[in-house]
Amino acid sequence: MAKTLSLDNLHRLVDALLQEGVRVVGPKRTGTLTVYAPLTRGEELELNELPRRSAKETFFPPCETILSFEKRDGRTTVSDPDLDRLPETVLIGVRPCDAAAPGILDAVFSWDYDDPFFLERRKRTTIIGIACTSSDDACFCTAVGLTPDARQGSDLFLVPVEGGGFAVEALDAKGSALKERHAALFTAGGNTVPLPLAEPKVEPLDLEKIRAWLDGNFEHPLWKEIADRCAGCGACAFLCPACHCFDIVDEGGEGSGCRRKHWDACGFGKFTMHASAHNPRDVQPQRYRNRIMHKFKYYRDKFGQTLCTGCGRCIRWCPVGIDIKAVLDEINKKS
């Protein structure tokens, strides 16, 4: 029953989807970096590198227009995007740490009020996950409950096999439908011995114990110790697959313009500052504390999930070398 897909056929699958008018987004090399970008042909797919930014931007772009307004002859009119015209999208070549995140974010984006910008894209997107066969020492998915071949969040899952190609597994109706539609590209049998997985060599974490420690240690010298070095940029939040904070701004002019929603980060001093200049999180350690609390306590308290998938991007790109895994290890030891 197991089906396999050669690398060539994976490329053909992308081409076939594009032919059908489906938007295909996958890791693509642009200049010096690999990012998730709309593909124009299958061969652009770059599966050997974890993209610099996470896949969340497929659902939650860095910046999007939520409405436009125009003032004419004393009348103001507002128009908003036609979300029913958002294209059907296939997000392909997504590693487990990136594939799991959108599902985690569903909770906040559908909490009471449904954010249509996120959820409509979710509805229209099929995620083709891929088991991870390369990792580095910043990776720690296994410490936060995932594995290099975790299926969580994927509709269709590819496991790289010996001799090239992938074993294919449809995980839900969306995945099956996609597989059925392109059945000719998938072959029965073939080598299905998986390549060795990239198991990060990290100490395990007890997330429940960490939550409990965070619960009792809002005030603790640790926060200052870690975060005094924090420069207060948004690199960690913007690269993170699970950070979902945003700002809403009006741009353009008084006469006409757009209201936009764009990524924001709790590390910025301005993030919580009141118009009166009073700031509930006045110094960097308080902001860093909020980041950890949000990911490992608040989100668990509210939605029962952890806002971290262990992709390691914040570790790789922290300008001052703050290592969230080291921080968690330390908390884990304390609790």
Partner 1 sequence: MCIPDKNIYKPYLATIESVVDETPDIRTLRLVFQDEAVRDSFTFRAGQFAEYSAFGFGESTFCIASAPTRSGYIECCFRAVGRVTEALRRLEVGETVGVRGPYGNSFPIEQFFGRNLVFVAGGIALPPLRTLIWQCLDWRDRFGDITIVYGARTESDLVYKHELAEWQGRGDVRLVKTVDPGGNGPNWDGQVGFVPTVLEQAAPSAENTIALVCGPPVMIKFTLPVLEKLGFADEAIYTTLENRMKCGLGKCGRCNVGNVYVCKDGPVFTAAQVKAMPQEF
Partner 2 sequence: MTATATTTKHDFEPKLVAFVCTWCTYAGADLAGTSRMQYPSNVRVVKFPCTGRIDPVFILRAFQKGADGVLVSGCHPGDCHYMAGNFHARRRFAAFRQLLDFVGVDLKRLQFSWVSAAEGGKWVEVVTELTERVREMGPMREFIDLDASEHWSAELADAELKAAYHSL
Partner 3 sequence: MTQGQQTESTPLVDPACYAAATAAIRAEAVRLLEAGEVTAVVGYRAGRRAGSAMPEVATTAEAAAQLIFTPGCQNNLALFLSKAKREALPKGKVAVVVKGCDLRALAGLIGESQLKRDEVHVIGVACPGVYGAGADLAKPLAAESLARKCRECKVHLPEGTDVVAGTLPPLPDLAPLEAEELARLEAMTPQERWAFWTEQFARCIRCLACRQVCPFCFCTQCLCDRNRPQAVDTSPRPAGNTAWHIVRAMHLAGRCAGCAECERVCPMDIPLNLLNRKMAQELFELYGFETTMQPQEQGALTSYRDGDDQSFIK
Q: Give 221: exposed, middle or buried? Use CB within 10 Å, 0-12, 13-18, 19+.
A: exposed
CB of residue 239 to partner 2, shortest distance in Å = 13
Host H or E run for residue 321: none
Instruction: Write the Ramachandran bin of 250: left for phi over 0, alpha for psi from -120 to 50, otherwise beta.
Output: beta
Residues 21-40 that bind partner 2 (CB under 8 A): 23, 25, 30, 35-38
* DSSP, residue by residue, 76-87: EEEE---GGGPP
Residue with tokens 């985690």: 104
Among 17, 108, 168, 207, binds partner 1 (CB under 8 A): 108
Percent helix / strand / coil, the chain, rounded to 5? 35, 20, 40
Among 68, 262, 272, 303, binds partner 3 (CB under 8 A): 262
CB of residue 149 to partner 2, shortest distance in Å = 26
Among 15-23, 144-152, 185-193, 320-328, which window interacts with partner 3 (CB under 8 A)? 320-328
Lookup: tokens for 53: 């930014």
Q: Which residue, 26 or 200, has its beta carbon nearer to partner 2?
A: 26
Is 239 a binding residue for partner 3 by CB under 8 A? The answer is yes
Per partner kind, with CB cut-offs from 5 to 8 A, the member of partner 2, partner 3, partner 1, none near residue 246 is partner 1
The 10 Å Cβ neighbour count of residue 262 is: 14
Residues 44-73 that bind partner 1 (CB under 8 A): 66-67, 69, 71
Angle at 139 between CA 155 and CA 109, to 5 degrees: 45
Q: Which residue, 63 or 222, has its beta carbon nearer to partner 2?
A: 63
Is 246 a binding residue for partner 1 by CB under 8 A? The answer is yes
User: First vs last Cα of the chain: how many Å apart?
Assistant: 47
Kindly state the number of chain residues that form the binding site for partner 1, as judged by CB under 8 A.
53
Is 103 a binding residue for partner 3 by CB under 8 A? The answer is no
Is 75 a binding residue for partner 2 by CB under 8 A? The answer is no
In the shown chain, the binding pattern of residues 211 to 230 toward partner 3, with x for contact by CB under 8 A and - for none, equals -----------------xx-
